[in-house]
Chain A
Amino acid sequence: MSRQKANAEGKSPSRISAAARSLAVPLLAVVTALIIGALLIIVTDETVLAAFGRGIGSGLVQAWRIISKAYGAFFFGAFGDLYHITETLRIATPYIFAGLAVALGFQGGLFNIGAEGQYFIGGLTSVYVGYSLTGLPWFVHLPLALLAGAVGGALWAGIVGVLKAKTGAHEVINTIMMNYVAYRLAEFMLDVGGPMARPGYRPVSPEVQPSAYLPQFFPSDSTIRFNAGFFIALAFAVLVWWLLYKTTLGYEIRTVGQNPHAARYAGINVPRTIIITMALSGALAGLAAPMDILGVIHFMPNAFSSGYGFDAIALALLGNSHPLGVVLASLLFGALRSGASNMQGIAQIPIDITSILQGLIIVFIAAPAIVRAIYRIRGLEQGEELVLTRGWGQM
Chain B
Amino acid sequence: MPPVLELKGITKRFPGVLANDHIDLTLHEGTVLALLGESGAGKSTLMNVLYGLYTPDEGEIAIRGERVDIAGPNDAIRLGIGMVHQHFMLVPVLTVTENVMLGMESIKHGILLDREAAAKRIRDLSARYGLDVNPDDLVGDLPVGIQQRVEIIKLLYRNADILILDEPTAVLTPQEVEGFFAVVRTLVAQGKSVIFISHKLKEVLALADTIAVLRRGKLVGAADPATATERDLASLMVGREVILTVSKEPAHPQEVILAVKELRVRGDRGEIAVDGISFEACAGEIVGVAGVQGNGQTELIEALTGLRPVMTGTVTLAGQDITNHTPRTITEVGSAHIPEDRQKDGLVLGYPISDNLVLNTYYLPPVAKGLVMQEEVIAERAERLVKEYDVRTPGIFTPAGNLSGGNQQKVIVARELSRDVKLVIASQPTRGLDVGSIEYIHSQLVRKRDEGAAVIVVSAELDEVLSLADRILVMFDGEIMGVVLADEATKEEIGLLMAGVHPGTQEAA
Contact = CB atoms under 8 A, between A and B. Distances in A.
A–B contact via C-beta, under 8 angstroms: yes
Interface of A: 3-4, 6-12, 15, 246-249, 251-252, 255, 258-259, 261-262, 264-269, 381-384, 386-387
Nearest to A4: B401
Interface stretch (B55-63, B117-125, B193-201, B338-346): B338-346
Contacts, number: 109
Q: How large is the interface on B (under 10, 10 to 19, 20 to 34, 35 or more residues)?
A: 35 or more
Contact of A6 (B372, B397, B404): B404
A4 B326 CA distance: 29
A275 B355 CA distance: 23
B348 interface: yes
A6 B373 contact: no
B395 interface: yes
A394 to B, nearest CB: 12
Given A6-B408, A8-B404, A246-B373, A266 B359 contact: yes
Interface in B315-336: 326-329, 331
Contacts of A251: 355, 362, 373
A382 B401 CA distance: 8
Contact of B394 (A11, A249, A265, A387): A11
A262 B344 contact: yes
11 contacts: A4-B349, A10-B402, A12-B394, A12-B397, A251-B355, A262-B344, A262-B345, A265-B305, A265-B359, A265-B360, A383-B350
Given A8-B403, A248-B363, A262 B347 contact: yes
Nearest to B392: A8
Given A7-B401, A258-B350, A265-B337, 15 more contacts: A4-B349, A6-B401, A12-B395, A247-B371, A251-B362, A251-B373, A259-B344, A264-B345, A265-B307, A267-B327, A267-B328, A267-B329, A269-B328, A382-B401, A384-B399
Contact of B348 (A8, A12, A258, A384): A258
Residue of A261, A267, A268, A387 contacting most chain B CB atoms (<10 Å): A267
Contact of B373 (A8, A9, A247, A268): A247
Q: Which 6 A-B pairs have the closest CB atoms?
A: A267-B328, A383-B399, A10-B402, A383-B401, A8-B404, A266-B360
Contacts of A265: 305, 307, 327, 337, 339, 345-346, 359-360
Nearest to B305: A265
A267 to B, nearest CB: 3
Interface in B180-210: none
Contacts of A259: 344, 347-350
B405 A6 contact: yes
Contacts of A383: 349-350, 399-402
B401 A261 contact: no
A11 B405 CA distance: 16
B368 interface: yes
Nearest to A262: B348
A329 B337 CA distance: 43
Nearest to B368: A248
Contacts of A266: 327, 359-360, 362
B14 to A, nearest CB: 9
Residue of A251, A265, A383, A386 contacting most chain B CB atoms (<10 Å): A265
B402 A267 contact: no
A262 B346 contact: yes
B345 A6 contact: no
Interface string B353-387: 00100011011000010011101000000000000
B348 A248 contact: no
Contacts of B346: 262, 265
Contacts of A382: 399, 401-402
A265 B337 CA distance: 9
Given A381-B402, A384-B399, A248 B349 contact: no
